[in-house]
Structure 1
Amino acid sequence: MDNKRSTSPTPSERDAPAPLANGEEFDERFLLQCLMDHIPDSIYFKDAEGRFIRINRAKAERSGLPSTEEAVGKSDLDYFSSEHAEKAMADERAIMTTGQPLIESEEHLIWGSGLQRWVSTTKLPLQAKDGKVVGTFGISRDITKLKQTENALERAKEAAESANRAKSEFVANMSHEIRTPMNGVIGMAELLLDTELSPSQREYTQAVLESGEALLTLLNEILDFSKIEAGKLELDPRPFDLRDSIGTMMKSLAARAHHKGLELACHFDRELPERVIGDVGRLRQVLINLVGNAIKFTERGEVVVDLKVEDRTDDHVQIKFSVSDTGIGIPNDKLKTIFSEFEQADKSMTRKYGGTGLGLAIASRFVELMKGELAVSSVLGQGTNFSFTIGLPISEQKLTQKEQISPDSIAGLRVLIVDDNATNRRILQETLQGWGIESQTAGHARDALQQVKGAVQQGQPFDLVISDVNMPEIDGFELVQSLRHDHELAETTVMLLTSGIRSGDLPRCERLNVATHLMKPVKQSELLEAISQTVGNLPRVPQEVTVNQTRPLTSSRSLNILLVEDSLVNQMVAIGLLKKGGHTYTVANNGIEAVELSASNPYDLILMDIEMPEMDGLQATRAIRERERSTNKHTRIIAMTAHAMKGDDDRCFQAGMDAYLTKPIRQAALLNAISKLEID
């Protein structure tokens, strides 16, 4: 048996005086009284009927009593409302019945004197010496200041949310109000450019169009920034073809670069997967901003986009995106501020180059959403490089047979690349090498002629010459002319790459027997298809459908269309676009007219504005869909709206619309939307 003495105090020891360091002794009754007299929290003991047995001094003072003895025998009914007293008694009965304490219950107390307090109350069962529950006791801590702070924070939160809603509504309304006249400005300018104009008239109209486009860019940046500030910007990851998507984006910027005489190129790492999963729209937006800035701040030289694989597994790839230019550069002391809102490296740049100072801030936020970080390095007067690295899942979805052209038919070909820009030569040579093509390069036309002649004399002629058009001294057309005038070289197959479409280029290509004429920067899929059609075994397509054409789109057949639009200017724009597409039309000025006309006429399609008097586009669509339930008919409806905020497209689809276009409506976007609906 263990004979060690227990270290737990006996009852007599607990009642014994407590020794202090200076030798004084105090019994527990004295210590308890000190606690009851001086603690700022309310302490109270009650019997089984809820009557006070004892309270402390703080409780007496809050109750307006001259002494603690005044409360003995009284209950909460003597000091509080009957509602509070009944609630307190119910809690105490539950505690006495179950033996379970009530911990930190928040209560709002109102005394007869009018004093109000919030308290956090803890109540426990009061047990006699034999363990029988004879009442309750508790302690209430004053948390009034805490509740006041919480209430103030809640009011501030509600005020902030109200202000945020007001800001969002303001931005949405401003978006609508600005986009509506912009639709008229841009649309009418585009229609005017398709008419017979004098050179000066065409120049003025082009200036109007470019100004409208600039205003649209600013509006989109402000809308994106407001979404970011409101925390409403989300990514929409989907499978996409990385090379083709970025290549298409580069083509959209080609005209701006070529207008300034800049080379615009894009380099893809061979290790890049065919398809990845990500928000291609936001990724393109980042690159468009970076490339657009590079073009804006570069007067001569080149702008190059590079995609490099940093790491790759079976199902994931880390890609470093970089955009470099040979522009004016950024001072070192400004490199940290350019990603801030409304900031530019030099305030004078705003006057010279324009812009809101939001573009890089938005691009940086988008990259952060993609789990990356936008970085910059620059040498003043020599150029700038922006880069970011993001991880993307690799999509298991492969290119379809229609989308994918095998390079097997062109493997082993011998090709000469002619371009005065070293970056272009390197990118083209690396691309061809990846397809199994043997290639050589020439930096100017004279060297190219010598290499072509030498190859023929050696009995190993080139299967194809890919030449840039815009070269110093001797351009690409003059190179082809020289080849055609030499009987040994006259049959050489030539593909021309140009930085801009000039009137007469196509007829000149036909006269010189140029096999293919492509617009730079050339997408890899376009180049592969063109080479396969030219010197491989892929069937040739007519020259007029190659990528260097920019003619208007038309739909497969003429449609009978109901145009619902209350703005006269926007009616004129839409009518002009529909006429160019070969469609017939009827105009409704509001939703009521649209519902009536659609009931009595078999329209193939309805173009529906959203904001209209009397009955808006959403209400009209719901009415049309309700009527169609009994007819088993479904008329295709395309929304045309100046609203471009998050959720606007969902509202249109929920109302029963089939497609959604944001104003200003562009001809290609409208006709493309019509063709996608596949109207019988």
Structure 2
Amino acid sequence: MQIVVALMMPSMVIPYLYNTMINKIEQNVEVACYEAITKIQDSSKLVPFLNSSTDFTMIQTKAYALAFPCKELVYNVKKQIKEALIVLLLVLVAVLAVIFSLVTLIVRAATREARLSSACMSQMGKTAHDIRGYIACIKGWIDLSYTNVASTSDLASNLKKMDACANDLLALVNSILDFSKIEAGKMQLDDKEFDIAQLVEDIVDLHYPNAMKKGVDVIFDPCDGSIMNFSKVIGDEGKLKQILTNLLSNAVKFTSQGHISIRVKAKKSTFDSSTTAPNRSISLLSKFLGFFCKSKGANDNEETILIKQRSQCMEFVFEVEDTGPGIPKDKRHSIFDNFVQVKENSVGNVGTGLGLGIALSLVRLMEGDIEIVDKANGEVGTCFKFNIFLTLQGNSPVDHKPRCIKAAEGSLVIVLIKNDERRRMIRRFMKSLGIDLVTLRQGSQLRGALQRIIRRVNMTGSSSLKCILLIIDANAGDFDMEISRSIAHFRKEVSQACIKVVWLDRPDTPRAHFHGLQEESLPHADHVILEPFHGSRLSRVISLLPQFEDLPQIGHATSQQQGMVERKPSAEESDSKDQRSANKKPLLDEASSEKALQGKRFLIVEDNPMLCKLAVSSVTRWGAAHTQVCGNGKQAFEVVCKALSEGSSTLPFDYILMDCQMPVMDGMEATRRIREEERKYDVRIPIIALTAHEAEEEANIVEVGMDCHLTKPLKIEGLLQAIKGLR
């Protein structure tokens, strides 16, 4: 058999094919001998040639021949690779061009939106300043007119109503401006130290009178008392107040019967990635842009983690619950949108629909979230729940350790309160402290309860009860002299125990109207508390028990500020809020008689003619000897420079009242230049800033050299207080 093999291929392929071919040949015939397969580099020599010759008998002859176009194959492969690379490069360039165009359009649109937003904010700020200025004019002239009329006249009543309308209009303007700042991303937190429990109580007390006119009780529920243990915090007090005020004012507006409760709990914050920066989704576009610039959302997320992991960080959970008509479930998803209202429930209660939207934005700004939760057992009404994160002041412990249940042994509290929810709140709170108590709803139940306690003392011995505290709502109904007799009889029968009685009175109800209860008949150990009975008043009453003398108190209020009225108080102290407001006029008359601004010289810098005239009238009324007016900061600077250059031995002005926002030159720049000019003469004229909105410009006032600030309109009480502080 003759085996002829001819090869034409790249040299790099020869070793592999060599072994393959030999194996194939050996599978078919027994090769007696063969020589190495030869490679041919030149295609012109691609002809069969004798590589090995051997004679076999009776065996079929087979021949193997392989041939490859060497140069053409390499050329074709390289050509196809080159074409594929070109196509791939063109596709990549096209994709990059599309992406670049898209990013360019987005950046241009974002830049345009930012420019428009900035311009809108600037215009909004100027407009809001003007609106506030005119509202301040209205309020100022109302105050000035109020000092000239009798406090009990119809005109005084009308002036009060006008002032209330002006306050509502100012609140609306502030809400719109807050909304604009939030939309532009310019809303920032102003952290400072404050008492959160005192803040909540003040807000509840502020809304209590209006709600009680409708027969609705407003309650501050401390829950487990943790809010009192961790009341000293660092955070933005103003924004938390705005959130609670929005929710509570809505509850008062839409609730016609029942109660409104604000429940607050404090607990150690724990990091939970599922709740960090709630409801802040990141779009695909945001993720893509994150490759080009660091995402602000990522920064916010990292900051949130750091906040929650701080050892002194506490989470405060708020619930604002009412017994109003409620919000349908199909409307809950949109109730936090701006300018959205529940139409079915808003008959006779109009508004802008901005309150809840602003509340949502402020809550999230404080790293929390807000929602509407279902009430238990199908109860009517609405319950808003939100949480925020605040830092404790100093090195306060973050662990809430409840008081030992056995701490109140030997003491008994009897509570007679008509309102069911307030009575339940008091019961829960006292039970959490381990206090043994009896709750009553009607005055007719008191006598029977006292008789049972007398029998209990007689059966268990005189040492079983050492202190008995009675808390009696004098307005609980069916109150008569029988109550006083029952208490007097109880004192005689249980003389070995210390018996203290606290009478609850309404601010609008004179103590003389206590049904048959006269001041001179009150024992020395008795007290009178002005409603609402919660917060500092509740803790103050509980501290009357010997075991709870060290109970944490809310704020640093005195007994009168906490609603505690000792025995035999003066009749004036029980006047209602309107009566206390009426006492403002005699105070002004006293200041007027003293002429507190007698001989003082004022430079008034104000661009609003009406506000300028109002300021001149106010200071002149209280004895100012000379007033000079400037319409902008540049005029004021020139007047001061001219007066100082004249070389007088005395200051040209005793005080400068400087508006902060003015055309040509604002008050900040004018103050800075005046301070530089004063250094040449080694003098300093007190400059009092006038601002339309205190929070906006307060940060820059001290920096530029102003001594203090007052909000418009100029009020004599504030001016006198500021001048007193400068002396």
Q: Indicate yes or no: 2:722 matched with 1:674.
A: yes
* Distance in 2, Cα, partners of 1:293 & 1:511: 43
In the TM superposition, residue 207 of structure 1 has moved relative to its aligned partner by 2.9
* 1:353 counterpart SS class: coil
| Structure 2 match to 1:389 | 387
Question: Based on CA coordinates, which of the two structures has the bigger radius of gyration?
Answer: 2
| Structure 1 match to 2:677 | 627
In the TM superposition, residue 461 of structure 1 has moved relative to its aligned partner by 9.8
Q: Indicate yes or no: 2:178 matched with 1:224.
A: yes
Conserved? CA contact 1:218–1:355, under 8 Å: no
Out of 529, 536, 548, the residue aligned to residue 525 of structure 1 is 536
| Structure 1 match to 2:233 | 276
* Distance in 2, Cα, partners of 1:635 & 1:484: 68
| Structure 1 match to 2:32 | none
Q: Deviations over 1:617-671 (max 9, x none)?
A: 223322332234346655543322225785x333434322244444466788x46
In the TM superposition, residue 200 of structure 1 has moved relative to its aligned partner by 4.2
Q: Which amino acid aligns with 2:370?
A: L
Q: Indicate yes or no: 2:686 matched with 1:639.
A: no
* Distance in 2, Cα, partners of 1:448 & 1:587: 67
Matches within 5 A, 1:608-623: 608-612=658-662, 616-623=666-673
Relative distance call for 1:486 and 1:342 in structure 2 (3 A) is closer
In the TM superposition, residue 290 of structure 1 has moved relative to its aligned partner by 1.1
Conserved? CA contact 2:446–2:483, under 8 Å: no
| Structure 1 match to 2:321 | 324
In the TM superposition, residue 331 of structure 1 has moved relative to its aligned partner by 1.6
* Distance in 2, Cα, partners of 1:359 & 1:383: 18
Q: Which amino acid aligns with 1:373?
A: D
Q: Which amino acid aligns with 1:229?
A: E
In the TM superposition, residue 317 of structure 1 has moved relative to its aligned partner by 3.4
Q: Indicate yes or no: 2:632 matched with 1:589.
A: no
Relative distance call for 1:39 and 1:631 in structure 2 (3 A) is same
Out of 167, 171, 174, the residue aligned to residue 213 of structure 1 is 167
Deviates further, 376-385 or 427-436: 427-436
Deviates further, 655-664 or 340-349: 655-664
* Distance in 2, Cα, partners of 1:624 & 1:168: 29
Q: In percent, how many aligned pairs have the same letter?
A: 26
Structure 1 residues not aligned, in runs of 5+:
1-8, 18-22, 44-57, 59-118, 121-139, 400-409
Out of 130, 146, 158, the residue aligned to residue 177 of structure 1 is 130
* 1:389 counterpart SS class: strand
| Structure 2 match to 1:293 | 250
Conserved? CA contact 1:301–1:326, under 8 Å: yes
Conserved? CA contact 1:239–1:275, under 8 Å: yes
Q: Indicate yes or no: 2:691 matched with 1:654.
A: no
* Distance in 2, Cα, partners of 1:437 & 1:633: 64
Q: Deviations over 1:439-498 (max 9, x none)?
A: 543323333466568768978797654443543444xxx67x963898658998654444
| Structure 1 match to 2:365 | 369
Q: Which amino acid aligns with 2:257?
A: R
* 1:277 counterpart SS class: strand
Relative distance call for 1:290 and 1:585 in structure 2 (3 A) is farther
In the TM superposition, residue 267 of structure 1 has moved relative to its aligned partner by 1.1
In the TM superposition, residue 322 of structure 1 has moved relative to its aligned partner by 0.4
Matches within 5 A, 1:444-459: 444-448=442-446, 451=449
| Structure 2 match to 1:52 | none
* Distance in 2, Cα, partners of 1:627 & 1:546: 54
In the TM superposition, residue 252 of structure 1 has moved relative to its aligned partner by 2.5
Structure 2 residues not aligned, in runs of 5+:
1-8, 15-40, 43-67, 271-310, 398-407, 493-498, 551-556, 561-568, 645-649
Deviates further, 155-164 or 544-553: 544-553
In the TM superposition, residue 261 of structure 1 has moved relative to its aligned partner by 2.5
In the TM superposition, residue 607 of structure 1 has moved relative to its aligned partner by 3.6
Q: Deviations over 1:567-624 (max 9, x none)?
A: 45435665788799x8868644324458747965486754422234665422332233
TM-score normalised according to structure 2 size: 0.62
* Distance in 1, Cα, partners of 2:484 & 2:78: 112
| Structure 2 match to 1:74 | none
Conserved? CA contact 2:226–2:267, under 8 Å: no
Q: Which amino acid aligns with 1:30?
A: N
Conserved? CA contact 2:467–2:545, under 8 Å: no
Larger fraction in helix: 2
Matches within 5 A, 1:220-619: 220-268=174-222, 269-272=224-227, 273-309=230-266, 315-346=312-343, 349=346, 352-377=348-373, 382-396=380-394, 415-429=413-427, 439-448=437-446, 451=449, 465-474=470-479, 483=484, 495-501=502-508, 517-522=528-533, 524-528=535-539, 550=580, 558=596, 562=602, 563-567=604-608, 569-571=610-612, 587-590=627-630, 591=633, 592=635, 596=639, 601=651, 606-612=656-662, 616-619=666-669
* 1:640 counterpart SS class: strand
Conserved? CA contact 2:636–2:670, under 8 Å: no
Q: Indicate yes or no: 2:172 matched with 1:161.
A: no
Larger fraction in strand: 1
Deviates further, 141-150 or 337-346: 141-150
Conserved? CA contact 1:266–1:305, under 8 Å: yes
Deviates further, 157-166 or 504-513: 504-513
* Distance in 2, Cα, partners of 1:548 & 1:438: 34
* 2:320 counterpart SS class: strand
* Distance in 1, Cα, partners of 2:675 & 2:338: 45
Q: Which amino acid aligns with 2:722?
A: I
Matches within 5 A, 1:34-53: 34=80
Conserved? CA contact 2:219–2:534, under 8 Å: no
Count of aligned residue pairs for this structure pair = 555
Conserved? CA contact 2:508–2:575, under 8 Å: no
